[in-house]
Chains A and B, each alone.
Chain A
């Protein structure tokens, strides 16, 4: 296995306790620095695939390597150490609504913080400065003291990007990061994720269901259907005919509201 792989999966499969199969036989290699988009209808396994990569879900079959270390074999401290290199951005933002924006961003540093001080919300001055700087990167440093739920959806997702940045990761997993946002606000969040990829050289794996966004931001595309990889290649090679071939005549690629 070459050293510059950010993620490698081998025969990855997931069957949920109820018996529903969400993934089967997914073999994937993601090189460092790539912006990989994962396309698929809802229920095609995009979310499950991303969550298997940082073990928010334990896959039932197959193995996953993160920067050459097998995360599916890690546990306890070594699992947490691997997770520190992998930040995640969620469709529903998943901020702690009752806490301030700054505390939410600071929580990105928990993986490297000492346990006892962190339990009383005490962080080093350098971390606080870094958190304010991260907020500055997404243009929200003036909202550091606001409660998270006082912000609009687009602002909340930018706080989540700042939290991811705070983590100082090498890889970002973004699970439908703009699906809950007003179409007009999508680029404001996507551009920040793109900046992390272009300027910081972070690897990004981002599930999307909007083919325009895929073409605009991704360097490579993988399309999922029924939990299997149905197509892989460069986004510009993925045209409407390929789309219909994979998802059937009924599905129609759209630019604003998903399939």
Chain B
């Protein structure tokens, strides 16, 4: 091959500078976090007390940390480490971006600064996590008594809400079904511009990719619960708001799953159809669609399954379905009735799970 494989030097120089910058950035972030976690632990174990005379809580300590200073120090140390990487060994950021250099590959982690850095970092993460989330093992193991009431109630479901529960269960299933069904055509259309392999052709296609990906990522990042609150304000409390909330979220989720499926297709048939002189739509119809229909069906059934589970939570805030009557009973501590409703939901989810697994098994 020899002379056949050459790489343009300009691109390499540019890439190298970018990766150096990335390495310093990652290192600065890691070192800053290490410093802050270290400071957190020092303050926590120094026995400092607040105004009330009690030991400082994790939140109070987080307020005291010197963030700007830590960032400043982190950046400085990251620069030093990356400048003198021959002396100090590759930094974590450098190893992540450009790989571990040849001469360090055979070293034990205890023989490199990076190894110790990572080890201490992981240790500190657990200690800091323990403090910040206020883990209390003793309480967990000794104070079960109060919760026992709830468990007892769940074990003795009362029949008083059985009828109402069943009616709303049907509503829940249909709510999930409508949300899923209406999400399919929208997601199907959006999946094509969201697939990387179909959008390399022109500037318009690349723009469509960026727009639809960004939009869908944003929609998906917002929890269905938040969408429910938005639509309840929009169309009022009830199952319709729930349908809309799950629909929006399902469109985003299905678009992502569909487009990833499109990205993994065999491009051979697309080439073959293109070569016949077919137009873009025909290439999609003949070269892409037949390959993705079975996995699409599988994802869609799975989505319905997820939506049944989610619609329970949506009901908590007023989005219809069985969650709507579950919430007040939880608040009032009617644990027997809660038990009935929970059993209904669990049974449905269990059945949906079995059915969807069976169908998906058959399709793929």
Contacts and interface: CB of A to CB of B under 8 A. Distances in A.
A96 B3 contact: no
Given A56-B271, A96-B286, A119-B282, A21 B276 contact: no
A167 to B, nearest CB: 5
A84 B275 CA distance: 7
B271 A94 contact: yes
Nearest to A54: B275
Interface string B4-31: 1111100100000000000000000000
B4 A226 contact: yes
A109 B278 CA distance: 8
B135 to A, nearest CB: 50
Contacts of A113: 282
A4 B274 CA distance: 26
Interface string B250-285: 000000000000000000110111111111011001
B54 interface: no
A56 B291 contact: no
B290 A99 contact: yes
The secondary-structure label for the interface of chain B is: helix
B287 interface: yes
Nearest to B269: A96
Given A19-B8, A98-B291, A227-B4, A88 B275 contact: yes
A69 B160 CA distance: 82
A20 B5 CA distance: 5
B145 to A, nearest CB: 60
Contact of B268 (A83, A94, A108, A226): A94
B2 interface: yes
Nearest to A24: B4
Contact of B276 (A18, A111, A119, A173): A111
Contact of A94 (B2, B272, B277, B293): B272
A84 B276 CA distance: 5
B272 A84 contact: no
19 contacts: A19-B7, A54-B275, A80-B279, A83-B274, A87-B275, A90-B268, A96-B269, A96-B290, A96-B291, A97-B290, A98-B291, A99-B286, A107-B278, A109-B276, A110-B282, A111-B278, A118-B282, A119-B281, A160-B272
8 cross-chain pairs, A with B, having the tightest CB-CB distances, nearest first: A111-B277, A84-B277, A94-B268, A83-B277, A110-B278, A94-B272, A19-B7, A88-B275
Interface of B: 1-8, 11, 268-269, 271-279, 281-282, 285-287, 290-291, 293-294
Given A88-B275, A99-B286, A107-B278, 9 more contacts: A21-B5, A21-B6, A43-B4, A56-B274, A84-B277, A96-B290, A98-B294, A111-B277, A226-B3
Interface of A: 18-22, 43, 54, 56, 80-84, 86-88, 90, 92-99, 107-113, 115, 118-119, 160, 163, 167, 173, 226-227
